[in-house]
Amino acid sequence: MKTPAILSVLGEDRVGIVAAISNALAEASVNIEDIRQTIISGIFSMTMLVTVDEEKTPFEEVQSRLDTVAQDLGMQITLQREDVFRYMHRI
């Protein structure tokens, strides 16, 4: 089952954020569909639209791996199924 999801990242800017997250996603067979990234006053903010291949890596496992990356980077990383945003922000 391929599950669309939104990955959001927030925290102090530093070298290697995108690389660390992209690597973790690639290892979990998560495909990146779209990326938006900005830095405002030194705060790094990134939103990714991704597709989780749950046959290869279950959703919970991807979340768990991203938690580890978040701890290593000292940033806040959240992975949520995309439907919650579709339900709340689209009529």
Partner 1 sequence: MRFEPDEVVETLTMVMQQSLDIRTVTMGLSLSCCADPDLDVVARNIYDRVTTAAERLVPTAEALEREYGIPIVNKRISVTPIAQLASSVNAYDVSALALALDRAAKEVGVDFIGGFSALVQKGTTDGDVKLMASIPSALASTQRVCASVNVASTRAGINMDAVLTMAEAIKQTAELTAENDSIGAAKLVVFANMVEDNPFMAGAIHGPGEASEVINVGISGPGVVRAVVSSLPDDADLTTVAEAIKTTSFKITRAGELVAGEASRRLGVQMGIVDLSLAPTPAEGDSVAEILEAIGVGMAGGPGSTAALALLNDAVKKGGAMGTSSIGGLSGAFIPVSEDAGMIRAAEQGALTIEKLEAMTAVCSVGLDMIAVPGDTTVETLVGIIADECAIGVVNSKTTASRIIPAVGKSVGDRVSYGGLLGEAPVMPVNQYAGTVFARRGGRLPAPLQSLRN
Binding site residues, partner 1, CB under 8 A:
6, 8, 34, 36, 38, 45, 47, 49, 59-60, 63, 78-89, 91
Say if residues 76 and 6 touch (Cβ distance below 8 Å). Answer: no
Taking each helix axis from N to C terminus, what angle separates 17-27 and 59-73, rounded to the nearest 10 degrees? 160
C-beta of 90: minimal distance to partner 1 in Å?
9
Dist. CA 15–CA 17, nearest whole Å: 6
Minimum CB distance to partner 1 smaller for 29 or for 54: 54
C-beta of 86: minimal distance to partner 1 in Å?
8
Minimum CB distance to partner 1 smaller for 53 or for 82: 82
Minimum CB distance to partner 1 smaller for 29 or for 78: 78
Say if residues 11 and 21 touch (Cβ distance below 8 Å). Answer: no
